[in-house]
Amino acid sequence: MELLKAQPADALLALIKLYAADERPTKIDLGVGVYRTADGATPVFKAIKAAEARLLDGQDSKSYLGPEGDMGFVRAIMPWMLGDFDPAGRIDGLQTPGGTGAVRLAADLLLKAGVKRIWMGTPSWPNHVQIFNAVGLASETFRHLDVATQKLDFTSLEAALDKADAGDAVLLHGCCHNPTGADYSEQQWQQIAETVAAKRLFPLIDLAYHGLGHGFEADGYGLRTVLAQVPEALIAYSCDKNFGLYRERVGALYVMTESAEQQPAIQSNLAALARANWSMPPDHGAAAVRIVLEDEGLTKIWLDELDSMRERMRSVRDTLASYQSIGSVNLAAVGQQNGLFSVLQLTPDQIAALRADWGVYMAGSGRINIAGFTEANIPHFIEGLRAVTA
């Protein structure tokens, strides 16, 4: 044990405690990716509250379900995820502890299937590379976004896919790119799908913010486009954000195989890997999601709640974009981006000064959580931004 050195706390998660300890009433939390209302709250969805009440009343056992978790939940997500794409029995999955568990299991499965490396755009969610490295997958990077100009670097993606070897994996954010908010256009998705298929690369699509960009249909476009062209794919799905179930850890990993006959073998591998990782996923959140999706009335309430979240984030983005640019920071682009995040062109010193002098908490990468803004706190943020970039 004495060989073990102390590790720094996860930089993003550490912000939660730093923010809580700050006593300034004007402080602004743009850190970890949770949705907030215009009053700064992260309430439990009404649809989830109702589903939980039914669970409390009706659940007659807490006995084990198995490493695959709640398959009613896993299958209930599929029509939302796949839209009109018919997998003809080639896609199935299992429940995982959050989207993180799904990415972890995907990495384990890729490695077990003989994949040695994975290509990914940067910046990305910092935990992606940690997970890949933890299981022993080598990661190769390309630039997803030029943060200074806020332009998506599609040339860099094309060059990377060109360099990749057949059998390499490639990580793609299905929508609401974390951390940049910069998503591919429909035409770019078409191109990606063609190249990935032609080069026989293995896509891992991370769909952690489904429904929070432009709605389920539009946010699933990239996923469906890739699935339509490739023989095999992995999808890491999270319900932590689109059902507001963060701490309940609700996710699923889906695998598309070349033929339906391959599914049982793949599912048995997933079950074995899950068993060795966490044995079985926690039940409560997934059961609540299943109850919502099985009930038309609750589904409608849930969709209305999601609509209002999306509308609020859109209106915050529009307000920020109306400032155009401040110092080195291009705010106009924020209006075109999707989901909870955008990344601002700021130096570590400027980010530290925003925190120390203005009580503005954002990730060290310059990532801001759009839902942390309110119409009331945006002027304070802009004032701070002007001061630190002057």
Nearer to ligand LMR, 202 or 361 (CB): 361
How many C-beta atoms surround the C-beta of residue 141 within 10 A?
A: 16
27 flagged as catalytic: no
Helix/strand number for the chain, H first, E second = 14, 15
Q: Is the dihedral of CA 98, 102, 103, 105 positive or negative?
A: positive
Which 142-181 residues touch ligand LMR, going by CB under 6 A? Answer: 178
Residue 209 in contact with ligand LMR, rule: CB under 6 A: no
- The single residue listed with the structure tokens 């026989």 is 200
Residue 285 in contact with ligand LMR, rule: CB under 6 A: no
Name the active-site residue from 206, 219, 240, 283: 206
Nearer to ligand LMR, 223 or 362 (CB): 362
Q: What is the C-alpha to C-alpha distance for residues 276 and 105, in angstroms, rounded to an integer?
A: 10
Instruction: Give the shortest CB-249-to-ligand LMR separation in angstroms.
Output: 10
Contact between 205 and 172 under an 8 Å Cβ cutoff? The reply is yes
Name the active-site residue from 29, 92, 119, 241: 241
278 flagged as catalytic: no
112 flagged as catalytic: no
Q: What is the C-alpha to C-alpha distance for residues 222 and 163, in angstroms, rounded to an integer?
A: 22
Instruction: Give the shortest CB-1-to-ligand LMR separation in angstroms.
Output: 28
Question: Which of 30, 32, 169, 270 lies at the binding interface for ligand LMR (CB under 6 A)?
Answer: 32
x-marked contacts with ligand LMR along 305-344 as a string, rule CB under 6 A: ----------------------------------------
Question: Which of 28, 33, 230, 256 lies at the binding interface for ligand LMR (CB under 6 A)?
Answer: 33
Taking the alpha carbons at both ends of the chain, their separation in whole angstroms is 49
Nearer to ligand LMR, 65 or 135 (CB): 135
Nearer to ligand LMR, 32 or 152 (CB): 32
Question: Which of 35, 125, 216, 373 lies at the binding interface for ligand LMR (CB under 6 A)?
Answer: 125
Sequence-separated (6 or more) residues with CB below 8 Å from residue 164: 119, 140, 170, 199, 201
How many residues contact ligand LMR, by CB under 6 A? 6
Beta strands in the chain, from DSSP E residues, in sequence order: 28-30, 91-97, 117-122, 138-143, 145-146, 151-152, 169-173, 202-207, 233-238, 250-256, 325-326, 329-330, 341-343, 360-362, 367-369
Nearer to ligand LMR, 127 or 325 (CB): 127
Q: What is the C-alpha to C-alpha distance for residues 335 and 117, in angstroms, rounded to an integer?
A: 35
Residue 12 in contact with ligand LMR, rule: CB under 6 A: yes
* Among the listed residues 206, 182, 184, 179, the one whose alpha carbon sits nearest the alpha carbon of residue 195: 184
Instruction: Give the shortest CB-125-to-ligand LMR separation in angstroms.
Output: 5
Structure tokens that stand for 52 in this block: 């939980």
Tell me how long the chain is. Answer: 390
Q: What is the C-alpha to C-alpha distance for residues 31 and 317, in angstroms, rounded to an integer?
A: 16
> Which residue number is nearest to ligand LMR in terms of Cβ?
33
Instruction: Give the shortest CB-341-to-ligand LMR separation in angstroms.
Output: 7
Nearer to ligand LMR, 129 or 387 (CB): 129
Question: Which positions lie near ligand LMR, rule CB under 6 A?
Answer: 12, 32-33, 125, 127, 178
Give the active site residues.
125, 206, 241
